[in-house]
Amino acid sequence: MTPVLWRANWRSLGRHPWQIALALLGIALGVAVVVAIDLANSSANRAFTVATESVTGRATHRIIGGPDGLPEEIYLHVRLNQGIFPSAPIVEGNIYLPDNNDQPLRLLGIDPFAEQPFRDYSSGTGAGSKVDIPALLTKPGAVIIEQATAQRLGLQQGDQLAIRVGAHHAQLTVASIFQEKGLAQEGLANLLIADIATAQEVLGLLGKLSHIDLILPPGEAGVAQQEQLEKRLPPQTELIEANARSRAITEMTRAFQLNLTALSLLALLVGSFIVYNTVTFLWLQRRRLIGLLRALGVARKQIFLLLLTEALGFGIAGSVTGILLGIGLGEFLLGLVSQTFNDLYFAVQVRDVSPSMESLTKGLILGLGATLAATVVPAREATHTPPGTALHRSSLEHQARRWSKRAALMGGGVLITGVLVLLLPSKSIGLGFVSLTALQIGCALLVPTLGTLLLTLAQPLLRRSFGILGQLATRGIVASLSRTGVAMAALTLAVSATVGIGVMIDSFRLSVSQWLTTTLQADLYVSIPGTHSGPAHSSLDLSLIERIAATPGVTAISTTRWVRIEGKNGLTNMVALAPAPQSFAGFQFTSGNPEKAWQAFVHEGAVLVSEPYAYHHQLSPGSRLHLRTDQGRQSFTVAGVYLSYGSDQGVVTIHRDTYQRYWSDDGVSGIGIYAEPDVDLETLRQTLLESINSSQHIQIRTNRSIRELSLQIFDRSFAITEVVRLLAGLVAFAGIFSALMALQLERTREFGILRAMGLLPRQLRGLVTGQTGLIGLVCGLLALPLGLLSALGLIYVINRRSFGWSMGFTISPEILLQGVLLAIIAAVLAGIYPAWRMAHTPPAEGLREE
């Protein structure tokens, strides 16, 4: 490629710095959203993984028990009778700091004499100061803590630490502070280490263990030892791999993270439309130059390589800028992702984004790929246009109209294909997103033709309303289809995404609200503050049941016990329910006969499963569900499937009598109180609080307050979705601004003629602003059907395949109006500067271009 060709090209590009800047902005914003989401997801996952691995240490397997833990005699059996060495007993659980807004910490109880093969920090062989093992064993309530966590909490050696465990309060003493570096320090954040006896006392697990860590040899020897151990273990135990829990929780969050990734790729898709638009404009602005170069003998291959090399430079610069923006944006999104994880899955403390080479490389590849893919079509068009034709504008617009018809036919085919694939009976989330993307691309290809049709139909009305300026506005858009077509497609796609996601969130929220209204049948609920997910969480004092039942104004009570059963196949959330007669009305069955289901549930030992659990495990009424109990693996009949939005992994509901028949656990996590009809609930609530022993820290809430809290958690969970939705709109705004800038600047001569013919500056501003507003209105109207179609796909396909939920489809007029207004406002704002610039350009300057 000759230096002359490069100089001519770069001099031409230098005349359009705004276009170059906007092209880079489009690429950078798209890449930034993808990188930010990926970094936020990976950082949250990494924090959990590092914390889990730091506690797991070098263990290869672990022995686990039931919901109430593992009898500590089993450790003696494994250690002495089985001769399994190394082996180490572990007690762990969540504690909370009442003086620090109930911040959660993990308490890890260890046997220091058995720990060295598993975890170095406990024996003092890790980096930093040595752990005071004698103090850990001899001082009551003694714990050790990593230095960075101690500094964050303002703790020093010898300090007292007030904690809450379930409903009880306790005091711990910081016996020693040790120091780790790098990943070890990050993994030990928010972890307190105590002697196993101290942990048992604090967590209320006297005589119990959470699990037993093992290191089994690799290869056939390890397999043989594993098989021998499994045969001799008591029926209430199970041998699993040490990282089984980490894998299970990672699987729990996979669907949530996949949905966020798909939304970020939507922003990149809109960004690629901007790149296509910008590259096309840059080619159009140099169309005459390219035609002259071709006439002078420059080969097609040289022009094609020139445009691709140019796009590659834009792609690299925009992608690198996007990566830097993404790292900063990831810091903001990380808080939203970790908040969602804390609300829905597990407690995780993530302080900083951890940029990974994988995430940054992914952003670079996607940015370059989208840029080059968006460049191929205009580059090929530029090289295959005859030199004579390239010198005439009319041939270009004629060609654009012809291409819009072809694009409409192609878009119709892609749209129909996307809809058909969405309707296929499949559980693949990836296939669902691919078909939804095909649906959006198909609709985007239809936009130029449909937009032209709408403008043609509106032209008589605009002429009657605004005279010749109204007619000029519509004709100017249609006549410049080569400029406006792709910009309209990008804006329509982005606005449709906001409409579709908005309708989905609104439908989901209404479904959750209605479900809560039906489910919360009790008037008051007694529970322990904090989460109820854990292998051995605290329970309420059983004497509360009798005291509450005897309180005047209480007509009935129900009790629940929330537990999590861990096993080789993952985690199972289960609730043991002792229902009151009124409790039955709180279940909405989606499958199964309600009367027969309740009969089997109460009298025949059958279980009820929530809709997500049934979906993920392919269960239906009459199916058999196998669960590990304290008496070994047992089979339960599924009596019915009920609607529930409480967990995306699902819940198994079992009658309390059946639960106590198979599990040695009499704990109670919550109590539902049914009041007499004329009783004032707040008065009854205060009476109950005064009658309950102050040594237990419990909460009593009305069903209304629980409903409001649940909806607040719902809104927090979708906060990041709203942010990504806004970012997609920002990317579209950059695209429409780029298109309008190029369009108006190219029409300098036309506006100069209009000014010379007597058009006033304010009239020219009105013409340009009206034209941009008209583009926004057309895009907003076209975005509505695409948005509703996308919402149907999100509700009935994506959410169903991701989480197993079914929900209603609700169209909110406010969301549709917001979508149209968003398109109009974005277009009008993007047109303000071009309108001002054109109105203040002297007519002579515009005519001089002639």
CB 148 within 8 A of CB 189: yes
Q: Give me the DSSP letters along 641-694.
A: EE---S-SS-EEEEEHHHHHHHS------EEEEEE-TT--HHHHHHHHHHHS-T
Name which of 187, 115, 399 is nearest 280 in CA terms. 399
What CA–CA distance (Å, rounded) separates 112 from 176? 14
pLDDT band at residue 638, thresholds of 50, 70 and 90? Answer: very high
What CA–CA distance (Å, rounded) separates 582 from 591? 21
Cα angle 604-605-606, degrees, rounded to a multiple of 5: 95
Cα angle 120-124-125, degrees, rounded to a multiple of 5: 55
Tokens, residue 411: 């878009």
> Is the pLDDT confidence value at 459 over 70?
yes
CB 499 within 8 A of CB 450: no
pLDDT band at residue 828, thresholds of 50, 70 and 90? Answer: confident
3-state SS, 284-315, equals: HHCHHHHHHHHHCCCCHHHHHHHHHHHHHHHH
Q: Which residues are CB-contacts of 106 (< 8 A; sequence separation ≥ 6)? A: 51, 55, 92, 93, 94, 95, 190, 191, 192, 347
- Which amino acid makes up residue 818? Q
Q: Which residues are CB-contacts of 708 (< 8 A; sequence separation ≥ 6)? A: none
Q: Which residues are CB-contacts of 76 (< 8 A; sequence separation ≥ 6)? A: none
pLDDT digits (tens, 9 = 90+) for 767-809: 878 888 888 899 999 999 999 998 898 888 888 888 888 888 9
Tell me, what's the pLDDT at 126? 43
> Is the pLDDT confidence value at 213 over 80?
yes
What CA–CA distance (Å, rounded) separates 351 from 310? 40
CB 21 within 8 A of CB 314: no
> Is the pLDDT confidence value at 746 over 80?
no
As beta bridge partners, residue 700 has: 526
> Is the pLDDT confidence value at 270 over 70?
no
CB 66 within 8 A of CB 663: yes
pLDDT band at residue 124, thresholds of 50, 70 and 90? Answer: very low
Q: What is the mean pLDDT of residues 540-557?
A: 88
What CA–CA distance (Å, rounded) separates 488 from 439? 17
Angstrom CA distances, 63 to 35, 198, 236, 238, 268, stand at 39, 21, 10, 6, 46
The four Cα atoms 450, 456, 460, 464 give a dihedral, to 10 degrees, of 80
Q: Which residue has the higher pLDDT, 850 or 755?
A: 755
> Is the pLDDT confidence value at 488 over 70?
yes
| Cis bond before residue 140 (omega within 30° of 0) | no
As beta bridge partners, residue 61 has: 214, 241
CB 182 within 8 A of CB 121: no
Q: Which residues are CB-contacts of 80 (< 8 A; sequence separation ≥ 6)? A: none
pLDDT digits (tens, 9 = 90+) for 133-157: 777 878 888 998 888 888 888 888 8
Q: Which residues are CB-contacts of 490 (< 8 A; sequence separation ≥ 6)? A: 270, 273, 274, 277, 444, 732, 735, 736, 739
Tokens, residue 133: 């093992």
Q: What is the mean pLDDT of residues 528-546?
A: 67
What CA–CA distance (Å, rounded) separates 557 from 673? 5
What CA–CA distance (Å, rounded) separates 172 from 741? 66
Q: What is the mean pLDDT of residues 642-666?
A: 90
| Cis bond before residue 3 (omega within 30° of 0) | no
Q: Give me the DSSP letters along 670-681.
A: EEEEEE-TT--H
Q: What is the mean pLDDT of residues 341-358?
A: 67
CB 100 within 8 A of CB 153: yes
Tokens, residue 764: 């020219």
Give the position of tokens 């993994």.
187
CB 185 within 8 A of CB 148: yes
In a 3-state reduction of DSSP, which class is residue 850? coil
Q: Measured over all CA atoms, what is the biggest interatomic distance in the chain, rounded to whole angstroms? A: 104
DSSP H or E stretch at residue 563: strand 554-567
What CA–CA distance (Å, rounded) separates 801 from 427? 5
What CA–CA distance (Å, rounded) separates 825 from 823? 6
pLDDT digits (tens, 9 = 90+) for 568-599: 777 888 999 999 998 888 999 999 999 999 99
What CA–CA distance (Å, rounded) separates 33 from 29? 6
CB 237 within 8 A of CB 73: no
What CA–CA distance (Å, rounded) separates 743 from 738? 9
The four Cα atoms 713, 719, 721, 722 give a dihedral, to 10 degrees, of 130
Q: Mean pLDDT, the chain, as a whole number?
A: 80
Name which of 631, 665, 659 is nearest 235 in CA terms. 631
What CA–CA distance (Å, rounded) separates 588 from 749? 68
Percent with pLDDT over 70 in the chain: 79
Q: What is the mean pLDDT of residues 637-655?
A: 91
Tokens, residue 674: 């049914």
What CA–CA distance (Å, rounded) separates 777 from 821? 8
What CA–CA distance (Å, rounded) separates 724 from 730? 10
814: exposed, middle or buried (Cβ count in 10 Å: 0-12, 13-18, 19+): exposed
Q: How many residues does the chain have?
A: 850
Give the position of tokens 């506006």.
751
Tell me, what's the pLDDT at 605? 92
> Is the pLDDT confidence value at 125 over 50?
no
Q: Which residues are CB-contacts of 260 (< 8 A; sequence separation ≥ 6)? A: 37, 40, 41, 337, 720, 721, 724
What CA–CA distance (Å, rounded) separates 713 from 731? 28
